[in-house]
């Protein structure tokens, strides 16, 4: 039986990399819904709708995330189109340089994460994957999703953490995710 995957993220977290791999095993949706429902719903574009999924068999929800600074420095996730897609008013964000300098969390990355992490009374599980630690946890991801990661692309991102300076506004969120398991299911 074919699987259906929902790879959710706030962007700049390797979601397309994961989507492209999971497509080998069934249907895979790339999702940017900021506030998911506690009942699994069908998808329209990159967002969940209000129409419930009838049969949850072989449906897998994944939330892949990274430290916010990596998302900020990803060209695909720093654009007006992306801000609109993740529910952020693009008028409040000017340039990447201003965003980093101002040190204000206009995207509300931790809130986005918590909308999935703290979502109670769901009728589905969520597998959380920390992008920066994904390659050292492929076996665990395989077990949770019951798929193979043979042929998964090499980690070409291993040097990225050295190149991006940390923003103080994200210290608490960064500490929090650094103290969590890198891959877990809730």
Give me the DSSP letters along the chain: --EEEEEE-SSSSSHHHHHHHHGGGEEEEEE--SS--SS-EEEETTEEEEEEPS--TTEEEEEEE--HHHHHT-GGGSSHHHHHHTT--GGG---HHHHHHHT--SS-HHHHHHHHHT--S-SS-EEEEEGGGSGGGHHHHHHHHT---TTPPP-TTTTHHHHSPPPGGGHHHHHHHHTS-SEEE-
pTM above 0.75, yes or no: yes
Structural domain including 70 reads 3-185
* Per-residue model confidence as pLDDT tens digits over 13-55: 999 999 999 999 999 999 999 999 999 999 999 999 999 999 9
* Per-residue model confidence as pLDDT tens digits over 113-161: 999 999 999 999 999 999 999 999 999 999 999 999 999 998 876 555 5
Domains: count for the chain: 1
């Amino acid at each position: 039986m074919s699987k259906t995957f929902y790879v959710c993220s706030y962007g700049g977290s390797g979601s397309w990399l994961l989507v492209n791999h999971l497509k080998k095993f069934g249907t895979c949706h790339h999702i940017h819904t900021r506030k998911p429902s506690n009942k699994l719903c069908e998808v329209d574009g990159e967002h969940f709708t209000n129409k419930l999924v009838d049969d949850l068999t072989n449906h897998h929800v994944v939330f892949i995330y990274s430290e916010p600074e990596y998302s900020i420095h990803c060209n695909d996730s720093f654009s007006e189109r992306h801000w609109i897609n993740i529910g952020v008013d693009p008028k409040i964000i000017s340039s990447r340089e201003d965003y980093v300098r101002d040190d204000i969390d206009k995207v509300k990355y931790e809130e986005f994460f918590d909308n999935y992490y703290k979502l109670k009374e769901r009728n589905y599980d969520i597998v959380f994957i920390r992008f920066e630690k994904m390659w050292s946890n492929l076996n665990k991801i395989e077990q949770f999703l019951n798929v193979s990661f043979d042929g998964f692309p090499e980690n070409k991102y291993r040097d990225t953490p050295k190149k991006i300076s940390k923003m103080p506004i994200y210290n608490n969120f960064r500490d929090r995710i650094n103290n969590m398991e890198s891959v877990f299911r809730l």
